[in-house]
Structure 1
Amino acid sequence: MDMETFVKECRSCDPNDTAKISELLAFGAQIGEAIIEARGKRERIPYEKILELYNNICVSLPKAHKLSTERRTRIKSCFTQKFTVKDFETAFRTVQNTPFLRGENGRGWHATFDWIIKPSNLLKVLENTYGAAEAAKNPSFDIDIIMERAKYGKPQI
């Protein structure tokens, strides 16, 4: 029985037809179990972990204190676009090691948590668009980052 048939039969079922009610209840239970199993398989987005990484790594930038609905939406959008926790960590380290993004520029502008978690800005940071001069002086290769990026078909860093 498919879902459409199930709904149709539930609406038209005779309340005295115990055999049919039992059949529909069994099918409904199967649907419910499938939904619960599917939800369990979905990876949870680690919003708190992203906030914690930012605050622990980007020590020269203002702290981010709360996860607003807008912040959660942006972080979720990043994960929808296949960014990983390691990508966030790499981006936060790059920001911390990039003078321009720390505010060492003619305008005094600096990156913020909200700016970094915007998917287009996260990508720019990961691509070193802002000249991570200090990071380039001290290259490091994290095998976990390379493996995770390879899993999603992203170029290695």
Structure 2
Amino acid sequence: MSNVFQLHASNPGGFTRMDNDLYGALIRADLSGRELRVALAIHRQTAGYNVSSARIAASYIAEMANIHREDVSRIIGELLRQRVIYREGGSKAPIGISPANEWKIDAKNNRKTTATKEPQCGVSTTSLVAFPPHNKDTNTSTTSDEVVVDAKRQPGAVPEKVSRTKQDACPHRAIVDLYHEILNELPGVALINATRIQHLQSRWREHQAHRDLAFWREFFETVKASDFLMGKVEGRFNTKPFRATFDWLIAPRNFVKVVEGNYNA
């Protein structure tokens, strides 16, 4: 039984046409599975309606691609950086698929072929069977705060330890630099004090999507696109307009409001 069906204009289910060059480029593209799903969702919402670009909410893409909304925002940032998609303006502007010849995709799976290393084990002179090293030769113990890396018991050798705290460290300065770059109309940050470090560290650790500077760039661009947060909307009864500050943005409740788009007066 054939599973090939002819597509007709009267097909009640409809169909989305895709340029053959774009189709081939997506097949060859070294994108992650989630990046490809988001790109296809954007293509569906643009080419599927015969438009080159459209305003597409991250929540809608999340539903289509079955990906968490905050992860979608991060992935859109990655696709923009790699020029797979483009945006016509700020963070809420229409997006579309870029021409394949403009793509600058990171090489994720291009691993150089290296010579196979000989196994570190004893080899019988009468057999080709390799015997694995004894367990006593390798120490794989760990503690709650540190990870032991390649700790071989040799006379005088000290195991190399990597602190989990360092692995999860928040790039405070880089985030503040992004704030100054994108939101230069808002009050600047002159001092990264203990309170700010604590709040940034908490926001960085509370979700995997936050541990990416691309997320923070989109976060600040969302703020820039809001007339309310930028102090361009007059308050009630002609009161002074509200204007966000760095401390306000990284406070727990306010941070969630901005991420979820629930920050209007």
TM-score normalised according to structure 1 size: 0.57
Equivalent positions of 1:82-101 (< 5 A) are 82=207, 83-84=210-211, 85-101=213-229
Structure having the higher helix fraction is: 1
Larger deviation: 84-93 or 64-73? 84-93
- Going from structure 1 to structure 2, the CA distance change for 1:88 and 1:122 (only over 3 Å counts) comes to farther
Partner-residue secondary structure (3-state), 1:102:
coil
Q: CA deviation at 1:41?
A: 7.0
- Going from structure 1 to structure 2, the CA distance change for 1:118 and 1:62 (only over 3 Å counts) comes to same
Residues 87-135 of structure 1: per-residue CA shift (max 9 Å, x gap): 222121111110111112314221000011113322211111135xxxx
Percent identical: 29
Aligned length: 106
8 Å contact kept, 2:168–2:205: no
Equivalent positions of 1:91-130 (< 5 A) are 91-103=219-231, 104-106=233-235, 107-130=240-263
Partner-residue secondary structure (3-state), 1:37:
strand
Equivalent positions of 1:34-49 (< 5 A) are 36-39=161-164, 42-49=167-174
In structure 2, C-alpha distance between the alignment counterparts of 1:114 and 1:38, rounded to whole Å:
29
Residues 9-68 of structure 1: per-residue CA shift (max 9 Å, x gap): xxxxxxxxxxxxxx9x969x34xx2xx234597143110000000011012211112211
In structure 2, C-alpha distance between the alignment counterparts of 1:63 and 1:120, rounded to whole Å:
21
- Going from structure 1 to structure 2, the CA distance change for 1:41 and 1:74 (only over 3 Å counts) comes to closer
User: Per chain length, whose mean CA-contact separation is higher, i.e. which structure has more relative contact order (CA < 8 Å, sep 6+)?
Assistant: 1
In structure 1, C-alpha distance between the alignment counterparts of 2:254 and 2:260, rounded to whole Å:
10
> Which is greater in Rg?
2
TM-score normalised according to structure 2 size: 0.35
- Going from structure 1 to structure 2, the CA distance change for 1:38 and 1:69 (only over 3 Å counts) comes to closer
Whichever residue aligns with residue 120 of structure 1, its letter is: R
In structure 1, C-alpha distance between the alignment counterparts of 2:181 and 2:249, rounded to whole Å:
15
8 Å contact kept, 2:169–2:201: no
Structure having the higher strand fraction is: 2
In structure 1, the gaps of 5 or more residues are 4-22, 132-157
The partner residue of 2:178 within 53, 70, 92 is: 53
In structure 2, C-alpha distance between the alignment counterparts of 1:94 and 1:119, rounded to whole Å:
17
